Amino acid sequence: MIERGSALPSVPTKLVNADGIADTTTTDVLGQGLVVLFTVPGAFTPTCHVNHLPGFLANEAKLRTAGVTRIVCASVNDHHVMKAWAENTGALGHIDFLADGNGAMAKAFGLQLDLTVAGMGPRFARSAVLIRDGVVQDVFVEDGPGVGASGAPAILMALEAANS
């Protein structure tokens, strides 16, 4: 798993943002500035759709005030699903999305979760990562169901602690 002080692995992915859909790499998207990356098991899945993504959208201004230059959500979904989710939630233009259709990013980051028993296959574990100029500052991985350690309020508290 990626850990504090490690450089991000460069993995091909698709970026979904207000400009459209583009082929890119994780280092191109996450490698500059202070970035909050949060990963979810699936777009439109109940906890991700109702709790995790909305928390980051609602706290966008506070995150930016705390110095965050980019908020990015990644999921093992294709770029069409990620675009539809971004549009459906009103997050397009506020949060950027990485579509990890084959799970290569989840695997390279060591944040893969096997949900085969639930019929979903390999996915991202629910997590959040603070990244500064391509170097991991902190990793928050949920150890159970729900959103706690990887939610926007917890990330805001971590940023506040780091800045004090």
Q: Which of 62, 38, 63 is nearest to 51 (CA)?
A: 38
Q: What is the largest CA-CA distance in the chain?
A: 44
Answering whether pTM is above 0.85, one says yes
Q: Are 124 and 106 in contact (CB under 8 A)?
A: yes
Start-to-end C-alpha separation, the chain? 27
Question: Is 73 a residue of the active site?
Answer: no
pLDDT in tens, 119-160: 777 889 999 999 999 999 999 999 988 999 999 999 999 999
Secondary structure of residue 111 in the 3-state scheme:
coil
H or E stretch covering 126 = none
pLDDT at 33 over 80: yes
User: Which residues, 6 or more positions from 131, have their beta carbon under 8 angstroms from its beta carbon?
Assistant: 8, 30, 31, 34, 35, 36, 37, 137
Which of 48, 99, 136, 155 is labelled catalytic? 48
d(CA 96, CA 68): 13
pLDDT in tens, 91-129: 999 999 999 999 999 999 999 988 888 777 788 999 999
Domain boundaries, the chain: 12-163
Q: Which CATH architecture has domain 12-163?
A: 3-Layer(aba) Sandwich (3.40)
H or E stretch covering 43 = none
